[in-house]
């Protein structure tokens, strides 16, 4: 019994951890044989796997972490400057493959604000339903994916099946499963097919049943709790300091949601609240996303109940191949599954954008926050901590 208690009260030996230099950075000498450098990734199948972490470890604990990108298609923002506005759409959606519709919306909305285009009511409701379906299919990967980083792969397989149901609806509506290009300047490309709402509702009912299974498999799993509670804790003063947004900020007790803070489309007509936790660890971030899943189901039902059955879906626009946008600048944003997702756009009066700059959560989450958060973490927790920040590497390599 005494030995068992000693094991439970065991504390790591940090005598070999590096001293801090005058510049605040650790002083690490690989020649001292106290440390070893390993690389994690790049590994494409992971949700955040298209980047690499350069880890310096002592035993099995991380003493320094550096994020490396450059393994993906890059230079999107520069490509925009060489393309007409309509030609930017096939490019912008690749800045976050799992959730391309947020890019479509921001680019279209930016063009509309710069050129004073009024979008028809029906088109705005259709944009909302697509954006919430996009959020839902991402969360169906993310929520069980958190446990998948700890070796619990069953929930991931379940989540991918239910995600496919939503992709079926995306394909039915837009003609594509991943890259939709459904949202365009002035509106959208088409109305809902006959019976679409009924089929989507049937999918939502199935996903509700899946949430109960997820609770049994993951939420009430003692091993998952042991590996998530208290791990990857983000101090609350980091939220404003590093620009943390979305579920990561809400897990630290902050009310951050663009749909409520700066309402766009018709979100001010939808009844929902912030999903808040306060412990700011991996478990809290899992709980917030688990609640977000349930909230998204409810929002989709409210949208279907409130939206009209018919109406204009596209405002009149110039010939898209010769469309010159008046000089000006604007910043447009929406709430992605990862948090605030914004475009800063500048037009110079020509057919080509002068500047389009993406402000996404991944840059700060995956570099500034992750590099600090991994220090003193166990190497077995690195993947789980990284996933809990929900980064999207192409959003960094823009």
Last residue of a domain, one of 68, 98, 126: 68
Report the CATH number at residue 140.
1.10.645.10
Task: Print pLDDT tens along the chain (398 aa).
Answer: 444 444 445 566 665 667 777 776 777 767 677 788 888 878 765 556 688 888 998 888 898 899 888 887 778 888 998 999 999 998 888 888 888 999 999 999 999 999 999 999 999 999 999 999 999 999 999 999 888 888 888 888 999 999 999 999 999 999 998 899 999 999 999 999 999 999 999 999 999 999 999 999 999 999 999 999 999 999 999 999 999 999 999 999 999 999 999 999 999 999 999 999 999 999 999 999 999 999 999 999 999 999 998 899 999 999 988 999 999 999 999 999 999 999 999 999 999 999 999 998 888 888 889 999 998 899 989 989 998 998 888 888 87
Cα dihedral value 285, 279, 234, 360, nearest 10: 40
**Backbone phi, then psi, for 345, in 5-degree steps?**
-125, 135
Asked if residue 365 belongs to a domain, the reply is no
Query: Of 283, 285, 281, 263, which Cα lies nearest the Cα of 272?
Result: 263
Contacts of 309 (CB under 8 A, 6+ apart): none
For residues 100 and 62, membership in a common domain is answered with: no
pLDDT value of position 77: 86
| Residue 37 shares a structural domain with residue 116 | no
Same domain, 234 and 306: yes
**What pLDDT shows up at residue 2?**
47
Range of the domain at 189: 85-359
CA distance between the termini of the chain: 56
> What are the tokens at 129?
């339903």
Please report how many Cα atoms fall inside a 13 Å half-sphere around the Cα of residue 383, on the Cβ side. Answer: 19
Side-by-side strand order, sheet with 328-336: 328-336, 339-347, 353-359
State whether 241 and 120 are in the same domain.
yes
**Are residues 323 and 86 in contact, defined by beta-carbon separation less than 8 angstroms?**
yes
Do residues 316 and 288 share a domain? yes
Which two structure tokens, joined as six digits, stand for 390? 């929900």
Same domain, 44 and 185: no
> Is residue 394 included in any domain, yes or no?
no
Tokens of 50: 């298209």
In the chain, the number of structural domains is: 2
Coil/strand/helix, residue 132: helix
Q: Are 286 and 340 part of one and the same domain?
A: yes
Check: CB of residue 350 under 8 Å from CB of residue 324.
yes
Are 188 and 62 members of one domain?
no
Q: Classify residue 376: in a domain, yes or no.
A: no
Residue 212 lies inside a defined structural domain of this protein: yes
pLDDT at residue 394 in the model: 83
Count CB neighbours of 36 within 10 A. 11
Residues 196 and 230 in one domain: yes
CB 153 within 8 A of CB 74: no
- Cα Rg for the chain, rounded, in angstroms? 23
pLDDT tens digits, 59-84: 888 988 998 888 877 788 889 989 99
Helices (H), the chain: 2-8, 76-80, 89-92, 101-115, 121-148, 154-174, 196-214, 222-228, 238-241, 246-250, 258-261, 282-306, 361-363, 370-373, 382-388, 393-396
Structural domain ending residue among the three candidates 342, 359, 376 = 359
Q: Which residues are CB-neighbours of 10 under 8 A, at least 6 positions away?
A: none
Question: Exposure of 378 by Cβ count < 10 A (0-12 exposed, 13-18 middle, 19+ buried)?
Answer: middle
> CA 241, CA 140: separation in Å to the nearest integer?
30
Q: Give Cα separations from 386 to 254, 278, 381 (angstroms).
A: 20, 19, 9
Domain check: are 282 and 344 in the same one?
A: yes
Last residue of a domain, one of 37, 68, 99: 68
**Shared domain check, 202 and 112:** yes
Cβ 201 vs Cβ 109: under 8 Å: no
Q: What is this structure's pTM?
A: 0.90
What is residue 41's three-state secondary structure? coil
Q: What tens digit of pLDDT does each residue of 256-313 get?
A: 999 999 999 999 999 999 999 999 999 999 999 999 999 999 999 999 999 998 899 9
Residue 347 lies in a domain: yes
* Closest to 373 (Cα-Cα) out of 386, 359, 362: 386
Q: Is 257 found in the same domain as 158?
A: yes
The answer to the question of residue 262 being in a domain is yes
Q: Quote the tokens at residue 325.
A: 């946008």
């Amino acid at each position: 019994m005494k030995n068992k208690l000693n094991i439970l009260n065991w504390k790591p030996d940090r005598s070999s951890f590096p001293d801090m230099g005058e510049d605040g950075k650790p002083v690490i000498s690989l020649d001292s044989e106290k440390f070893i450098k390993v690389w994690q990734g790049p590994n494409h199948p992971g949700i955040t796997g298209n980047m690499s972490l350069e880890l310096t470890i002592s035993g099995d604990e991380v003493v320094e972490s550096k994020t490396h990108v450059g393994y993906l298609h890059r230079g999107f923002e520069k490509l925009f400057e060489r393309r007409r506005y309509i030609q930017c759409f096939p490019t912008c959606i690749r800045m976050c493959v799992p959730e391309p519709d947020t890019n479509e919306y921001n680019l279209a909305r930016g063009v509309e604000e710069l050129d004073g285009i009024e979008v028809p009511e029906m088109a705005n409701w259709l944009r909302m339903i697509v954006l919430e379906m996009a959020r839902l299919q991402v969360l169906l990967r993310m929520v069980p994916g958190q446990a998948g980083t700890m070796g619990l792969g069953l929930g991931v397989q379940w989540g991918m099946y239910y995600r496919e149901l939503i992709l079926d609806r995306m394909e039915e509506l837009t003609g594509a499963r991943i890259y939709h290009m459904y949202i365009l300047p002035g509106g959208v490309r088409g109305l809902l097919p006959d019976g679409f709402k009924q089929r989507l509702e049937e999918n939502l009912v199935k996903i509700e049943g899946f949430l109960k299974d997820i609770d049994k498999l993951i939420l009430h799993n003692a091993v998952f709790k042991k590996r998530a509670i208290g791990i990857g804790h983000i101090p609350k003063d980091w939220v404003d300091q590093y620009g943390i947004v979305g579920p990561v900020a809400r897990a630290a007790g902050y009310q951050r949601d663009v749909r409520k803070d700066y309402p766009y489309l018709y979100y001010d007509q939808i009844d929902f609240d912030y999903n808040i936790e306060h412990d700011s660890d991996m478990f809290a971030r899992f709980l917030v996303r688990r609640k977000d899943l349930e909230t998204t189901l409810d929002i989709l039902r409210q949208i279907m109940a409130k939206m009209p059955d018919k109406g204009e879906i596209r405002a009149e626009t110039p010939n898209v191949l010769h469309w010159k946008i008046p000089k000006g600048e604007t910043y447009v944003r929406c709430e992605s599954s990862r948090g605030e997702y914004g475009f800063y756009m500048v037009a110079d009066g020509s057919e080509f954008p002068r500047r389009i700059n993406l402000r996404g959560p991944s840059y700060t989450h995956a570099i500034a926050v992750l590099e600090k958060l991994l220090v003193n973490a166990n190497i077995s927790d690195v993947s789980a901590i990284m996933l809990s920040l929900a980064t999207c590497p192409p959003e960094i390599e823009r």
